[in-house]
Each structure stands twice: as C-alpha cells, then as structure tokens.
Amino acid sequence: MYVAVKGGEKAIDNAHALMRTQRRGDTAIAELSVDQIRQQLPLAVDRIMNEGSVYDPELAALALKQASGDAVEAIFLLRAYRTTLPRFGYSEPLDTEQMQIERRISGTFKDLPGGQILGSTYDYTHRLLDFSLLASGEAEVAPAEANALSEALAAGNSCPRVLELLNKEGLIEQSRETGDGDQIPRDLTREPVNYPAERAVRLQNLMRGDEGFLLSLSYASMRGYGDSHPFSGEMRTGRVSVELVPEELGFPIEIGEVLLTESEMVNQFHGSKDLPPQFTRGYGIAFGRAERKAMSVALVERALRAEELGEEVLYPTQDQEFVLSHTDCVSANGFVSHLKLPHYVDFQSELEMIRRLRKEQGQATQSKTTNEEANA
Amino acid sequence: MSAATAIGYNFAYLDEQSKRMIRRAILKGVAIPGYQVPFGGREMPLPHGWGTGGMQVTASVIGEADKLKVIDQGADDTTNAVSIRRFFAHTAGVETTELTAEATLIQTRHRIPERPLQADQILIYQVPIPEPLRFIEPRESETRKMHALSEYGAMQVKLYEDVARFGHIATSYDYPVMVNNRYMMDPSPIPKFDNPKMSMMPALQLFGAGFEKRIYAVPPFTQVESLDFDDHPFEVQSWEDACSICGSDHSFLDEVIIDDNGSKMFVCSDTDYCRERVTEGFVGEAPAQLETEQ
C-alpha cells in the first residue's frame, strides 16, 4: 500500500547537516576565518555589502563564509538580517567632493584639477595566472614607501568632480530635481515602488541590483539596444565621512566613514523644443571598490531617463518597469528557485486538462474518419 | 511569550510597527474586496516565491492563543510547509496543528482545504503573482488603470480564444475570479477545483504577495465568481478514479507514479482530509499492480 511521503522535518534537518559538512570541506585543510575573507577577498565582500544594502564588511564576510562563497546566498543572508534592524535616523547627504581619493580616472580629460590617479587596479594586468600564488609563499606587495605615498595623497586629495567643471560652462544639465522626492528619498525597503518611479527610487533600486544583470543591460545598451554609449566623465574611489544630526544636538557629527566608488557618465543629448543641446548625466555609486557596479548603475540609470528626457523608449534597458522589477538578485533567485517547490496540484490540473483535450481531439478525428469511410 | 521563541527577535519575527502597517493594509483589503492594496512588504528570511507574502500576513495577525496550520499542495508534510510551520513555532512559540478543524489560522500554498472552513478561521494564501492581468499586460501602470475602470475585456477575449481553439476554457489553475461584482482577482495558483469554495466562505480569506508588495482580501460571505460565458459555464475538474487510501471520489486527487512502467494511483492532495476519512472507516482500493504484488 502506498504510504504518503512523511518525515519532511527530519529530511530538512539532515539536509542542513550535510550542507554544513560540505561547506567545511576537507577537515585536514585549515578552516577559513571571517577575517581572512574580509582581508583577502575584499571585492567579493564589497559585492555582498552593495546588494545586501548594509555597509558592514565583517557581516558581509561572515555571510560569504556561511554561504560557501555563493554571492547571491550571502546577499540574501545579509538582507534577511538587515530587514530586522531598527532605523536610528538618516545621515546627511554624503559629500563626495570631499572624498579622500585613492583612485580617480576621467575618460574625458587628459589632465584636470586633482589629476588622474591610477591607484590600485586589475586594469592593464595581463591576466596571466600567477603560479607563485599557488605555491604557499607570501605574495609580492608594494614597497612600504609607495603605500605611504598613496595614503598621504588620499588624505589631502579632495577635488571637484569633473562634471561640475562642465556644469560651470552650462554644457551639462543640472543634476538636481526639484520636489520632495529629491530632498527626502523614499526607502524602497519600506514602501512599495509606484511607477513611474522617481529618480532617487530608481537609483536606490539599481544600487541594490544584481551586478551581472546591470552589467549585461549596460552592455546591451552600448551595443545599440538602448542608444546609450556615454563617456566616463569620472570614476573615483575613496573614503567619505558620514555625518548625522542627532535630534538632541541639532548639528552634524561625524559617525564614521565609508569607502565608495562613484561613477559619472556623460551622454549626448540633442536637445528638445524647450532645452538646448547639452550633455546629460548618468550617475552610479557603490560601496567599496566596485567599479563595474558603479559604472553599470550609471549607464542603466541614464538609459532609464529616456522618458523624462523625451527620448523614444524602444528597448528593455529604457523601460522602468522591465528593469526595476527584475534587478534584485534575491528576488530573482527566489522566484526561479521556487520551481523546486512542489507544484503537484497545478501540474495535476494541467495533466487532466491535456488528457481531456487529447481525448476530445482523438474522438473528433475518429468520427471524421468514420464519416469519410461511410461516405466513400 | 514562551521560552521557546527565537532570541533577539520580536514575537513572530516582524517588529510591531511593520505588523501594524500590514494590518492596516489588510483592513483596507477587507473594506475593498478583491482590490490589491500596495503595502511596504518587508524582506523576509525566505526567498521570493516561497511564501514571504503569506508569512508577513500570518506574522501580522497571529497571536499567542492561535493554532497554526500550514499546508503546501494541500499537505502538511511537504518540506516548505514544514519549514514555515517551524518558523512560526520558533519565532512566535505558538501551537501548531495538522487538523483543519482545530486550526485558527491556516497558511496555504496552492490549495483550499476540503473540509469547509468556519467563521472563526482565517485562510492565508501565499501569492506569487497577485495581478490576474499580468500575462495579458505586463505593466503595473496599465493594469492598475484597467482595474480602476473595471476594464476586463482583455481577459474575456483570452478565455474566448481558448473556447475558439479548444472548445472550452483551457485554464486549469490560477483561474481568474470576480469578487463582489467589482474587482477581478487572482485566486493564487489554486486549481480551479477550489474556486467555488471561495464564494460565500464563512472564514476570512487573506492574500499576501511579498515581493510584489500587495495584499488583498475576500471578507466572509462575499460572492466570488469564476469567469465564464453563458454558453460555456465554469466547471471544475473531476476524476474517473478515487483516492487509493480513503476512497474519496469528490476531493482533489494527486497522481502518483508507482513503478517504472508509469503505472499510477491517485491519492487525496489534502492529507488531513484523507486521514480524517480513514479514521471514520473509509477505505480506498489499492491499485491493481500493488494488489497482485502483495
């Protein structure tokens, strides 16, 4: 006699125990510490912080360890923790002009006030596997004086953003919008998004968005599916202080600093009947060293402004509802993976339906043949 | 609060502010039957599509005195149902049950229990996609207008196209309904077999779509009609077989493949209903192959 599959609870416990064993791997190999992840896999940690929407390298590293290195799972862990955190208040707007710059690249001007600073980068490496890292020796690092120089440079190195230089000449649009939505951004983890969404909401959504998805959308739009092939006006990375005005004090105090990467793209705009031809901006910002993310956000952000700038919306990247509804890797992963959940009942309904349709069709064909035979 | 609840978390996981916000959305939903109320859906520790909407609704209405039942595909023992039931046992310390009759809250995915629900019960549906018009019009800004204007012709056309192609309406689950003659509603992907149970149900029906951030409701004793045509009336699925365990020929049956040749048997999808019938002395006929093997 058939016995309904019981024991779901035990199966779940066992599955989780097995997962923990797999995560640990060979116990003859030393266990990875959260500090090691934080120090030695910082770019992975930065991605977890960005899409997890929490600036906390330690928790992000912990999530990465707990998730066996699966970025999407780690982001999910961090999000599920973040959602329970109380809100103490909102910081003052960050002033990225005051950033202590460790890297700054402009694709539009060869030299500019503050200079180009190459900083640390994978660009121009020859992507040759470095087998010396495989041998368990210490990797070669920069000499101490180079580090000191770079730090000294960063400390005194705040400079105006490139796009502000264009702004002075009136060649580029003003970036601020007017109205409440611009001054007091909504929190999209607390309120549902209404379409059309204002720019601040769109930017929030993109910052939390899946890096790969945004990268591909940017790529598509640069290749012609979106009419956005901009210049990288500036990309800068460095520390910015975060200020908060406690109610009982009434003036801003510094509560810490965050490492940020900011990207500003410059796009052509041919003008409309109200506006003269001018450059427009695409803006992106991300926690940590996350150039790919910041640039992708800036590209997609600009593409999404098609409607407000009176451009024709022809491609998915320009379509708010298409882009903003599908950026979130936690949601996307959840919904795709929910197909692993049982769908017995719906499938049973479809089975019944398709059997009936086939039967009816079979009967119809049969009676047709019988009629034809009779007529012959 | 019982000592067994999760340390460092509020009763039933969500903070009281969030719960109050969700209860406001629920009240609005009850006041406008079938209308999708946007709410500040919170991120939950379960993924999108795994019941986060239902969980937020459950977390907002559950109290210490409640008895919670969670089903998935009608069954209490499917892994996701187990997982959600444990979540509330852990975070709220409430009593859980598998008995439809004694549950005060029932969170469900894809089914309505066979046993008729009572006025003191609440049925909470997990909803993946709350918008019945979504696959006709993907844009939220458009579908909201269509609802505002009761402009539902596009759905009738879709159903008519089924009739033209197949001779009858070929939607077997997620079958659209009209609530209180005003709003078109997605009943969540329950089989259309369950649609008639929604109408005039004494229990309150709440629907939560977490990622989509929508809540809607069908208050007790509200008319819910499945869409159809005068000459093609709505009808539910029926089976030629009966449940192999309890012999029921009127409940929703799951098909189970029992050998490599694809032989099959049918069992009730509602495990509690089946169990209850067996206690009452009903017996099903085991399928032919199994009997010969014995």
Extract the residue ranges of chain A whose pLDDT is less than 50: 1-5
Q: Is B268 a catalytic residue?
A: yes
Look at residue A244 and tell me if it is in a domain: yes
CB pair distance less than 8 Å for A9 and B173? no
CA–CA distance from A93 to each of A57, A241, B28, B64, B185 (Å)? 22, 10, 36, 43, 42
Same-domain status, A78 and A100: no
Q: Which distant-in-sequence residues (6+ apart) come within 8 Å of A240 by Cβ?
A: A94, A95, A96, A98, A99, A100, A257, A258, A260
Which residues of chain A does B213 touch, with a Cβ-Cβ cutoff of 8 Å?
192-193
Residue A19 is given by DSSP the state: H
Look at residue A133 and tell me if it is in a domain: no
CB pair distance less than 8 Å for B271 and A360? no
Q: What is the H or E stretch that residue A284 is in?
A: strand A280-287
Residue A209 is given by DSSP the state: S
Which residues of chain A does B275 touch, with a Cβ-Cβ cutoff of 8 Å?
none
Q: Note whether A192 contacts B: Cβ–Cβ < 8 A.
A: yes
Q: Note whether B263 contacts A: Cβ–Cβ < 8 A.
A: no
CB pair distance less than 8 Å for B172 and A352? yes
Suggest the residue from B48, B87, B226, B283 to mutate for an interface test with chain A (most A CBs closer than 10 A): B48
Q: What are the pLDDT digits (tens) for A169-192? A: 888 887 666 666 566 778 888 888
Look at residue A4 and tell me if it is in a domain: no
Torsion of CA A345, A351, A356, A362, to 10 degrees: 180
Residues pairing with B122 in the sheet: B105, B204
Q: Which two tokens stand for residue A100?
A: 């202590």
The least confident of B12-26, B119-133, B254-268 is: B254-268
Please report the residues numbered 40 through 59 in chain A whose beta carbons come closer than 8 angstroms to any beta carbon of chain B: none
Same-domain status, A63 and A109: no
Q: Which amino acid is at B215?
A: I
Which residues of chain B does A331 touch, with a Cβ-Cβ cutoff of 8 Å?
47-48, 211
Are the beta carbons of B60 and B26 closer than 8 angstroms? yes
> Among partner residues A2, A84, A353, which is closest to B265 by beta-carbon distance?
A2
Please report the residues numbered 162 through 201 in chain B whose beta carbons come closer than 8 angstroms to any beta carbon of chain A: 166-167, 170, 172-174, 189-193
Are the beta carbons of B67 and B73 closer than 8 angstroms? no
Q: What are the pLDDT digits (tens) for B14-35? A: 999 999 999 999 999 999 999 9
Look at residue A132 and tell me if it is in a domain: no
Which residues of chain A does B89 touch, with a Cβ-Cβ cutoff of 8 Å?
none
Alpha helices in B107-170 (DSSP H): 140-148, 153-166
CB pair distance less than 8 Å for B172 and A349? yes
CB atoms within 10 A of CB A226: 25
Which residues of chain B does A351 touch, with a Cβ-Cβ cutoff of 8 Å?
255
CB pair distance less than 8 Å for B237 and A82? no
Which residues of chain A does B140 touch, with a Cβ-Cβ cutoff of 8 Å?
195, 321
Q: How far is A112 from chain B (nearest CA, A)?
A: 44
Query: Is residue B137 predicted with pLDDT exceeding 80?
Result: yes
Please report the residues numbered 3 through 22 in chain A whose beta carbons come closer than 8 angstroms to any beta carbon of chain B: 4-9, 11-12
Residue span of the structural domain in which A19 resides = 14-82
What is the distance between the alpha carbons of residues A321 and A316, in angstroms, rounded to a whole number? 9
Same-domain status, A294 and A196: yes
Look at residue A50 and tell me if it is in a domain: yes
What pLDDT does A181 receive? 56
Q: What is the H or E stretch that residue B226 is in?
A: strand B224-226
Q: What are the pLDDT digits (tens) for B227-260? A: 999 999 999 988 889 999 999 999 999 988 888 8
Catalytic residue among B53, B208, B243, B284: B243
Same-domain status, A176 and A78: no
> Among partner residues B47, B73, B256, which is closest to A342 by beta-carbon distance?
B73
Please report the residues numbered 222 through 281 in chain A whose beta carbons come closer than 8 angstroms to any beta carbon of chain B: none
What is the distance between the alpha carbons of residues A134 and A100, in angstroms, rounded to a whole number? 35
Mean pLDDT of B39-58: 93
Q: How far is A350 from chain B (nearest CA, A)?
A: 6
What is the distance between the alpha carbons of residues B57 and B126, in angstroms, rounded to a whole number? 9
> Among partner residues B78, B140, B191, which is closest to A195 by beta-carbon distance?
B140
Same-domain status, A252 and A171: yes
Look at residue A89 and tell me if it is in a domain: no
Count CA atoms closer than 13 A to B190's CA, side-chain side.
29
CB pair distance less than 8 Å for B139 and A321? yes
What pLDDT does B147 receive? 98
> Among partner residues B40, B128, B252, which is closest to A345 by beta-carbon distance?
B252
Question: What helix, strand, coil percent values describe chain A, rounded to 5?
Answer: 45, 10, 45
Q: Is B153 a catalytic residue?
A: no
Same-domain status, A163 and A231: yes
What is the distance between the alpha carbons of residues B60 and B18, in angstroms, rounded to a whole number? 8
Look at residue A197 and tell me if it is in a domain: yes
Q: Which domains does chain B have, with CATH numbers?
A: 16-133+178-225 (3.40.50.11310), 238-287 (no CATH)
Same-domain status, A194 and A296: yes
Same-domain status, A218 and A329: yes
What pLDDT does A1 receive? 36
Question: What helix, strand, coil percent values describe chain B, rounded to 5?
Answer: 30, 20, 50
What is the distance between the alpha carbons of residues A257 and A156, in angstroms, rounded to a whole number? 16
What pLDDT does B17 receive? 92
Query: Is residue B36 predicted with pLDDT exceeding 60?
Result: yes
Residues pairing with B255 in the sheet: B266
Work out how many domains chain A is built from and give that number. Answer: 2
Q: What are the pLDDT digits (tens) for A330-359? A: 999 999 999 998 898 889 999 888 998 898
Which residues of chain A does B49 touch, with a Cβ-Cβ cutoff of 8 Å?
334-335, 337-338, 341
CB pair distance less than 8 Å for B271 and A4? yes
Q: Is B54 a catalytic residue?
A: no
Same-domain status, A76 and A211: no
Which residues of chain A does B209 touch, with a Cβ-Cβ cutoff of 8 Å?
none
Phi, psi of A126 (to 5 degrees): -95, 15
- ipTM reported for the complex, 2 dp: 0.77
Same-domain status, A155 and A57: no
What pLDDT does B3 receive? 44
> Among partner residues A1, A86, A345, which is closest to B73 by beta-carbon distance?
A345
In the predicted model, what is the mean pLDDT of chain B?
92
Closest residue in B to A6 (Cα) is B77
CB pair distance less than 8 Å for A334 and B50? yes
DSSP string, B22-50: HHHHHHHHHHSTT--EE--PPP-SS-TTS
Look at residue A128 and tell me if it is in a domain: no
Catalytic residue among B51, B53, B246, B284: B246
Q: Note whether B48 contacts A: Cβ–Cβ < 8 A.
A: yes
CB pair distance less than 8 Å for A344 and B77? no
Beta strands B264-268 and B253-257: pairing type?
antiparallel
Q: Is B41 a catalytic residue?
A: no
Catalytic residue among B34, B74, B208, B210: B34
Q: Note whether A321 contacts B: Cβ–Cβ < 8 A.
A: yes
Please report the residues numbered 97 through 126 in chain B whose beta carbons come closer than 8 angstroms to any beta carbon of chain A: 109-111
Q: Which amino acid is at B59?
A: A
What pLDDT does B286 receive? 74
Indicate the SS3 state at residue A151: helix
What pLDDT does A176 receive? 63
Q: Note whether B73 contacts A: Cβ–Cβ < 8 A.
A: yes
Same-domain status, A19 and A78: yes
Q: Is B40 a catalytic residue?
A: no
Residues pairing with A287 in the sheet: A260
CA–CA distance from A368 to each of A357, A373, B168 (Å)? 16, 9, 20
First to last CA, chain B: 52
Supply the pTM of this predicted model. Answer: 0.86
What is the distance between the alpha carbons of residues A325 and B212, in angstroms, rounded to a whole number? 9
Same-domain status, A51 and A199: no
Give me the total of CB pairs closer than 8 Å, taking one residue from chain A and one from chain B. 150
Which residues of chain A does B141 touch, with a Cβ-Cβ cutoff of 8 Å?
195-196, 321
